[in-house]
Amino acid sequence: MELCVTEERWQAIITNDASYDDQFFYAVKTTKIFCRPSCKSKPPKWDNVRIFQQANEAIREGFRPCKRCKPTGQRLPDREWVAQITDYIDAHYSEKLTLAHLADMCHGSPYHLQRTFKRIKDMTPVEYMQQKRINKAKQLLVHSGKTIAAISAEVGMPNTPYFITLFKKTTGTTPSEYRQLHKHQ
Ligand SMILES: [Zn+2]
């Protein structure tokens, strides 16, 4: 079935929102190519877009599947998507990261990201990031002579009192106590 180009669908296309990938495909009249909403290819013009519910309907109308988002292939499995996000967090945890920023990087809505991540990892993206930061802080406490404030900043938490509170909540000891306990073993 061909669908209308509603404002909601249009927004999904121009923001590459992966949460719409199982809902429709969009075809571009000028290029004769069709894509998933999440496709990162250059956004089309509104007037040139047609929307189909099924990939085979677009094919029947003479459109070819995009080589980039492969709309006739398997959808990027959620596990792979979440793995891309954890890789991103692993590489960037020392920077300021928010859920909105992560969602933006990974081409999904914050709501979809939160829900999918939690289902697969059994924790939220923010919890995963905090765990990563605390683990790195533990290493630095034991294997470096850096101050607590320096370590806190290095793991992406420049607010030291907040870092200490979170560290204690997660490990049961303050950063100083943790260092005392593990340094001379
Ligand atoms: Zn595409």
The CATH number that applies at residue 58 is 3.40.10.10
Average pLDDT over residues 103-111: 82
| Final residue in a domain of this structure, among 65, 85, 116 | 65
Alpha-carbon gap, residue 86 to 102, rounded angstroms: 10
How far apart are the CA of 86 and the centre of ligand 1, in A?
A: 24
Same domain? For 100 and 179 the reply is yes
Is 82 a member of any domain? yes
Same domain? For 159 and 87 the reply is yes
Read off the CATH number of the domain in which 168 is found: 1.10.10.60
Same domain? For 15 and 40 the reply is yes
Same domain? For 100 and 19 the reply is no
Band of residue 74 on the pLDDT scale cut at 50, 70, 90: low
How far apart are the CA of 153 and the centre of ligand 1, in A?
A: 40
Q: Has residue 75 got a pLDDT over 70?
A: no
- The residue range of the domain holding 42 is 2-65
Band of residue 102 on the pLDDT scale cut at 50, 70, 90: confident
Same domain? For 162 and 139 the reply is yes
How far apart are the CA of 34 and the centre of ligand 1, in A?
A: 6
pLDDT value, residue 19 = 82
Is 72 a member of any domain? no
Is 70 a member of any domain? no
Pick 76 or 108 by higher pLDDT: 108
Same domain? For 61 and 82 the reply is no
How far apart are the CA of 38 and the centre of ligand 1, in A?
A: 8
Same domain? For 12 and 97 the reply is no
Same domain? For 42 and 84 the reply is no
Band of residue 41 on the pLDDT scale cut at 50, 70, 90: confident
* Residue 35: active-site member: yes
Average pLDDT over residues 11-35: 91
Same domain? For 53 and 83 the reply is no
pLDDT value, residue 185 = 56
| Mean model confidence pLDDT for the chain | 91
Same domain? For 82 and 173 the reply is yes
4, 35, 69, 106: the active-site residue:
35
Instruction: Report the domain count for the chain.
Output: 2
Same domain? For 101 and 163 the reply is yes
Average pLDDT over residues 84-105: 88
Give the lowest-confidence range in 20-34, 35-49, 99-113, 160-174.
Answer: 99-113
| Final residue in a domain of this structure, among 39, 65, 91 | 65
Q: In this prediction, what percent of the chain has a pLDDT beyond 70?
A: 97
Same domain? For 85 and 116 the reply is yes
pLDDT value, residue 153 = 96
Alpha-carbon gap, residue 151 to 173, rounded angstroms: 16
What does the pLDDT look like over 133-178, one tens digit per residue?
999 999 999 999 999 999 999 999 999 999 999 999 999 999 999 9
Instruction: Identify which of 104, 113, 170, 111 has the alpha carbon closest to the alpha carbon of residue 138.
Output: 170
How far apart are the CA of 142 and the centre of ligand 1, in A?
A: 48
Q: In this prediction, what percent of the chain has a pLDDT beyond 90?
A: 64
Average pLDDT over residues 12-34: 91
Please say whether the beta carbons of 51 and 9 come within 8 A.
yes
Which residues are in the CB-under-5-Å shell of ion ligand 1?
35, 39, 41, 66, 68-69
pLDDT value, residue 76 = 63
